[in-house]
Structures are given as structure tokens and as C-alpha cells.
Chains A and B, each alone.
Chain A
Amino acid sequence: MLKRSFRFHNTGANTVDKKEIDHFQNFLEEWWNEFGSMKALHSMNKLRVPFIRDGLVNSGRIRDKIKTPTALEGVSLLDVGCGGGILSEPLARLGCNVTGLDANPNAIELAKHHSEKQGLKINYAASSVEEHASQYFETYDAVVASEVLEHVTQKNEFVDACIKCLKPNGSIFITTISKTNLAYFLGILVSENVLRLLPRGTHQFEKLIEPSRLQRILEDYDCRTELIHGMCYNFLTNTWHWCPDTSINYALHAVKIKSED
């Protein structure tokens, strides 16, 4: 089942780290267990889905259908690093035309399998965003990179590729872990070793990025940051909350500015 041929092959230069892919293999089955090792990603949906939804509504890209079951109808959205589809599926349910990318073909298999069972139409592809950008220039109304940037070594190239896929005036949504001592302590040491929320080795400190640096990179690629929110996790109740403090986890919404020429 895992040996299908993919439209996108993992070739050439990209920002995907080989070690990272192997690591994810180990807990693929765990993806869809809402109370298993991915529970923090599942529960994060209660924060990040409204963040994306309201961001798109507020940026005026879509008509306000917030009171309907398909508030994001007709929005084309690219979910970069979609994994098993934990975020792609709710976005598709809200009416988005979702394309989910993940460099790990096994994750994509799993995602396809699950979304079919759910009766959702999601276009999943095992590919890096760099490859995707070369074919799908300025295609999407929105690009989402949620909890992936902390696994990427070459940040600039990654962000550049994401933004290439985005239509002018389109929105990019990023959630990631900040690069502070506190984030290192809570986000990595405690959650991987003490609380075992994540398997050991999930995150490496050098790959983390603080909000100000991310904002500068986005500016370099013609994106104006609209909003940065801190996110706090309560591991006792497995719930996320918005907070002013962006020193551990944060969410960012930026809009691609129409080029002058």
C-alpha cells in the first residue's frame, strides 16, 4: 500500500532533512489518535483553524460566511508539511480546496487513506514545497505552514518557496516554536523528556526561529506581517490558549504584497 507512485518525486535540492523524515516514520500510526502522542497537534486545531479562518475573513479575501458550515468555501489553500492531514481535513471540511504537501510519502499515504474514509476531497502530494513552487507559481489564496518551520534547516529558501505559491494579496499562516531559552526548556527538554508529549529528538534547538527573525525573512519576500499571537499549551488539560507571550509557541499571519512592477 505504501508503494504507490507519486506525482512528485523527492528529487534535487530541497530543504527537507533526511533524518527528520525517518523520525516521523516511527509514529505514523499514532497520527490519528486524538489522545495519543499527537494530541497536542489535534487540540491545537481549536486555535489554529479559527486563526486561519478569521485571518482569511478579516483580510477580505472571502465573503463573510462565518455563520455557515463552510466559511472557507472556494478558498484554495496549500498545507505545507501536512503530515497525516490533522490540519488539512478540518480546513477541507470548511470548504477549502486543500492541497496537502509532505516530504514523507508514508505520511501522505496515511493522509490519503484517512481523508478518503472521511469522504473528503483533498489533493495530497509527497513533495517538497520547493518542487511544488516551480509548478504552482502564484496559485493559492492561502499557504499554511503549521509546526514545520522548526524542522527546516534552510529557512529562507523554505519561506521563499511558500510565498512563490501564493497569489498576490494571498495570506500565509505560520505556527512554530520560538528560539528562546524558555522554549528550549519547556518545548524540548520538558515535553520530550519529562512529559513525553513528543518523542525524543522531535525538535532541535538550532532549528528554532524567533518571531522577529521570521518577520524579517517574510519582509524580504514582500510579505507584510498582520498579526503575531503567542500560544500557550496546558499539558494537564491538553488545551491551547492565546497569550501575549510569544517566547514559546506563536502563530503568525502575513499577507503577500502585490509587486510594484
Chain B
Amino acid sequence: MKSQKFPIAAVRACAYSDSVSKTHYDIIISGGGMIGSSLACTLGKNTRLSNKRILLLEAGKEKSYSFTGKYSNRVVSLNPATHKLLNDINAWSHIKNSRFAAVKRLQVWDAISDACITFGDENAIEDISYIVENDLLLDAVSKELKNVNNVEVIYNTRAKEYSLPLHNEDKVQITLENGSSITCSLLLGCDGFNSHVRKAMQTQYVTWNYNQMGIVATMELSEEIQNVIAWQRFLPTGPIAFLPLNSKQSSLVWSTVPDEAKKLLQISEAEFVDAINGAMYQTYQHSNIIDTATKIFDNFVRFFNWPVDMSRRYPPKISRIEEGSRAAFPLGFGHAASYISKGVALVGDAAHRIHPLAGQGVNLGFGDIICLNEVLGNAVSCGSVINDLSYLKEYETQRQRYNVPTMLGVDGLYRLYNNDFAPVVLLRSLGLQATHAINPVKDKVIDWAS
């Protein structure tokens, strides 16, 4: 990780297990985003992999996070499993020394019906999730990566071409933009949703665009509050969410149709603030049948004395947005039919991309990291080669078993809510009420949604 520039000059003379040549690595991670960097750090710190030579390749320059007081407009919500991993690799200590917000309660409600669901409790000790800026997370992991001496990091270097092996025992060859080439036994593709590693694998990729853009911004609250609640309201055009940053600020993630997104980007910041407040508070016309049905359901729940937490809260009012923090991103769905092939595996957005409405994108990637780290450690402790296909297959099976239902669930939610056809609204409001009312179901949902 010391050498910044290619060719790799300063390779330590060290007895690495599988490698003989200076340009051969046991593992090359292509793409040093949040997932690639965290994967490099996790594998590098796995004592069972301590004799493996690992390279992290990143096309962009080394980013450094500056603590300016201004929050970045790109934040992620990290679930407890991701939090634990970051703690285990000691990256969390850097985040803790900087800043993050703990979410203790989550409220999700429907704009067209009165259905509402809440999870957690503001005064509880347990946190549902943690809001961290993307750049801070990356910076924390990169800092920690400097303490790991079997991982080299090369920035400003893009992989141009991947040549994948036909036989299990052959190496992966990677041609870099500067013309030089390197080889590895195992290539891990962490190069994001537009993954070239995935393209080289020629695996089937199921993808579609949501007719939506995600608008983000850093928002100032009109008054100082405890701010431990994450809010999400389903509007007819898509969900709008507030994620807490500190007692005076929250982060916006607003998914909406392209036309409205375009308009929201063009209007003045003051008008944009009004639009945000309107989106959180505006009442939509309820249809009678839905109102009646949800009331009947309510009575039904009360009759059976199911425990119901009807304490609905109201989200904070926004007074202004951080200047220039407004931005938009296209939203899409994508899933690779296989995550692995001879000598290669996909991790993070390279393998799967989802709608941000449940804040799961990066958490699925962190789940991949946890699993792959375990599987590769097992392979080595059983004396197998690092690219043993049967172990990689275990990774694929375990992750697809988790990712596919989660992704379909999130996509299903998107479809359910991107609809104002009365029977669908009725169905979802009853569903939301039912999940709300029945604790075991709610526990499952929170398990999955946080």
C-alpha cells in the first residue's frame, strides 16, 4: 500500500504463499469504493490470510476527508451488522472520533392512506442504524488500511481489461490503463454497478431503471431537537426520507419521477425547502373505501387486544438547505445471475444494485464482505487454494440466498408504493397496519429493514 505509482517498485521481499513474481498477487481487488476498501481492510486483517499478498486498485485519486463542519450530501445508513464489521476492523473508532448519528426510531407512513409503522424507541439503548457520510466511511477505512501490511493500494490506476482463466489453475490477467499487466489467483470485482469485471465474466445481468431520480441534500432544521428518528413517507411519486445528522441537521433522500426531479433541481433553494416541507406534510385525497377499511382493521386489532403503538410523530420542519448540497442520482435495479466464476467473485454494487428506499445498498455489500472473509478464511484453514471454486460457490449460495429476497422485497415495496390505484393502496395500508400490529412480524421486518 506504500507504492502510489505503477510499476510496483517497492515490493517487500517476503515469502508469500502462492506468489512468486513481483507482479503476481494472491488477491486483487478492483475498485476502491466503500466496499472495495472495506474488503481489502477486512481480508488484510484476517490472520488466516496473513500470508496472502493483496492489491487494491482504484481508478480515482486518494480522497481525504476534511472535517469542515459542513456535512457531505452523500450519506449511508449502516445496519448493526455493518457497524459490527467496521468495529472489528477498527475503522469505527475513526468514525466515532469524527461524527455519526445513531437512529433509534424509524417511522414509515403512507401519504394516501393513514397507515403508519414505527420501529424502535427514542429512549432505547439499542440503535436501529447509524448515519455516516460516505467520504468519512471511506476515509476511516483507508486510514486503517495503512496499518495493514499485506495490502498494497494503488490509486489513479484503472484496470482496462480483464482476462479470466479458462482452467481453475490459470491466473487472472489484468491490463492496466498505462499498458502494464499484473496477475492474480483471485480477482474480486468491487467496481460498482457498472462493473467491468462482471462484463468480463459474461454473466447474465438482470437490470432495469426505475423511472425515478434520487435527490439528496443537507438540510437545516427549524429548531434544535433530539433528532434520533429516521422518517420515510411514501408519496405517489416515490418515497422521501429524512436521516438525522445532528441536533440541527438532517440529510434528505427523495426519490421521484424525472420530471419532478428536474423541477426540484431548478427551483430556488427557498422554493426547494418549501417543496420538502410540503412533501412531508401535504395531505393527499384519501378514498373512502380505504379509510373505512383501515378503520375496520383498527377496530379488529383493538378487539383482539394486539399491542399497537399508535404514537405517530411528526417530522421536523426544514428551515433551509446547505448551499449547493442539492444533487440527483439515477436509480436502478440490477442483479448478476452469478457472483462467481473461475478465479473471480463480485462484491457489492458490482453484483447487486437496489432502490435506496430501504437504505440497504451498501449494507448488502457489507454482508458480502463478512461472508467472503469467512469463506476465504475457511478455505485457507482447510489447506485449499485461495480461488477454490467450491468455496467461492459457498459465498455465492449464501449471499444470493440473502440478497435475492431482500432485493425483491425492496423492489416489491417500490412497486407497491409507486401506485395510487385504490385496491393496491388498500392492500398496502392494511399490510402496513398488520405489520405494525403484530409484533413477531414487525421484528422480522425490522431485522430486514435496518
Q: Tell me the A residues contacting B by CB distance below 8 Å.
A: 34, 42-43, 45-46, 49-50, 53, 66-71, 89-94, 117-119
Knowing A70-B51, A119-B18, say if A43 contacts B381 (CB, 8 Å): no
Q: Which residue of B lies closest to A91 (CB)?
A: B383
Q: How far is the CA of A69 from the CA of B389 in the complex (A)?
A: 19
Q: How far is the CA of A104 from the CA of B384 in the complex (A)?
A: 25
Q: Mark B65-92, 1 if CB is under 8 A from A, else 0.
A: 0000000000000000000000000000
Hey, which chain A residues are within 8 Å of B51, CB to CB?
Answer: 69-70
B390 pairs with A50, CB closer than 8 A? no
Q: Which residue of A lies closest to B47 (CB)?
A: A67
Least CB distance from B400 to A in Å reads 15
Partner of A119, one of B20, B50, B52, B389: B20
Q: Tell me the B residues contacting A by CB distance below 8 Å.
A: 17-18, 20, 47-52, 168-169, 380-385, 388-390
A42 pairs with B17, CB closer than 8 A? no
Hey, which chain B residues are within 8 Å of A45, CB to CB?
Answer: 382-384
A49 pairs with B383, CB closer than 8 A? yes
Q: How far is the CA of A118 from the CA of B169 in the complex (A)?
A: 9
Hey, which chain B residues are within 8 Å of A68, CB to CB?
Answer: 47-48, 50
Hey, which chain A residues are within 8 Å of B382, CB to CB?
Answer: 45-46, 49-50, 53, 90
Q: Which residue of B lies closest to A32 (CB)?
A: B169
Partner of B383, one of A43, A67, A89: A89
Q: Which residue of A lies closest to B380 (CB)?
A: A69
Least CB distance from B143 to A in Å reads 25
Least CB distance from B377 to A in Å reads 9
User: Which of A42, A49, A66, A68 gathers most chain B CB within 10 Å?
Assistant: A68
Going nearest first, the 3 A-B pairs with the smallest beta carbon separation are A90-B383, A93-B383, A49-B382
Q: How far is the CA of A139 from the CA of B388 in the complex (A)?
A: 32
A34 pairs with B380, CB closer than 8 A? no
Knowing A67-B47, A68-B50, say if A50 contacts B169 (CB, 8 Å): no
Partner of A117, one of B49, B52, B169, B380: B169
Q: How far is the CA of A92 from the CA of B18 in the complex (A)?
A: 13
Hey, which chain B residues are within 8 Å of A90, CB to CB?
Answer: 382-384
Q: How far is the CA of A89 from the CA of B52 in the complex (A)?
A: 17
Q: Which residue of B lies closest to A66 (CB)?
A: B381
B384 pairs with A69, CB closer than 8 A? no
- Do most interface residues of chain B lie in helix, strand or loop, or is the interface mixed? loop
Least CB distance from A231 to B in Å reads 15
Q: Which residue of A lies closest to B397 (CB)?
A: A237
Hey, which chain A residues are within 8 Å of B47, CB to CB?
Answer: 67-68
B381 pairs with A71, CB closer than 8 A? yes
A50 pairs with B381, CB closer than 8 A? yes
A34 pairs with B168, CB closer than 8 A? yes
Least CB distance from B20 to A in Å reads 7
Q: Which residue of B lies closest to A89 (CB)?
A: B383
Least CB distance from A73 to B in Å reads 11
Hey, which chain B residues are within 8 Å of A67, CB to CB?
Answer: 47-48
Q: Which residue of B lies closest to A70 (CB)?
A: B51
Knowing A49-B383, A90-B384, A94-B383, say if A69 contacts B390 (CB, 8 Å): no
Hey, which chain A residues are within 8 Å of B48, CB to CB?
Answer: 67-69
Q: How far is the CA of A231 from the CA of B164 in the complex (A)?
A: 36
Q: How far is the CA of A71 from the CA of B415 in the complex (A)?
A: 51
Q: How far is the CA of A94 from the CA of B18 in the complex (A)?
A: 12
Least CB distance from A76 to B in Å reads 16
Hey, which chain A residues are within 8 Å of B168, CB to CB?
Answer: 34
Q: How far is the CA of A66 from the CA of B169 in the complex (A)?
A: 26
Hey, which chain A residues are within 8 Å of B381, CB to CB?
Answer: 50, 53, 66, 69, 71, 94
Q: How far is the CA of A92 from the CA of B169 in the complex (A)?
A: 17
Knowing A68-B50, A117-B169, say if A34 contacts B383 (CB, 8 Å): no
Q: How far is the CA of A49 from the CA of B391 in the complex (A)?
A: 14
B169 pairs with A69, CB closer than 8 A? no
Least CB distance from A64 to B in Å reads 12
Least CB distance from A105 to B in Å reads 23
Q: How far is the CA of A119 from the CA of B20 in the complex (A)?
A: 9
A34 pairs with B50, CB closer than 8 A? no
Q: Which residue of A lies closest to B389 (CB)?
A: A34
Hey, which chain B residues are within 8 Å of A49, CB to CB?
Answer: 382-383
- Contacts A69-B17, A94-B381 aside, 10 further interface pairs with beta carbons under 8 A come to A45-B382, A49-B382, A53-B382, A68-B47, A68-B50, A69-B52, A70-B51, A71-B381, A92-B383, A118-B385
Q: How far is the CA of A92 from the CA of B48 in the complex (A)?
A: 16
Q: How far is the CA of A91 from the CA of B381 in the complex (A)?
A: 10
B50 pairs with A69, CB closer than 8 A? yes
Hey, which chain A residues are within 8 Å of B380, CB to CB?
Answer: 69, 93
Least CB distance from A46 to B in Å reads 6
User: Which of A43, A45, A46, A94 gathers most chain B CB within 10 Å?
Assistant: A46
Q: Which residue of B lies closest to A93 (CB)?
A: B383
Least CB distance from B19 to A in Å reads 9
Hey, which chain B residues are within 8 Å of A93, CB to CB?
Answer: 17, 380, 383-385
B49 pairs with A69, CB closer than 8 A? yes
Q: Which residue of A lies closest to B49 (CB)?
A: A69
Hey, which chain A residues are within 8 Å of B52, CB to CB?
Answer: 69
User: Which of B17, B49, B381 gathers most chain A CB within 10 Å?
Assistant: B381
Least CB distance from B334 to A in Å reads 28
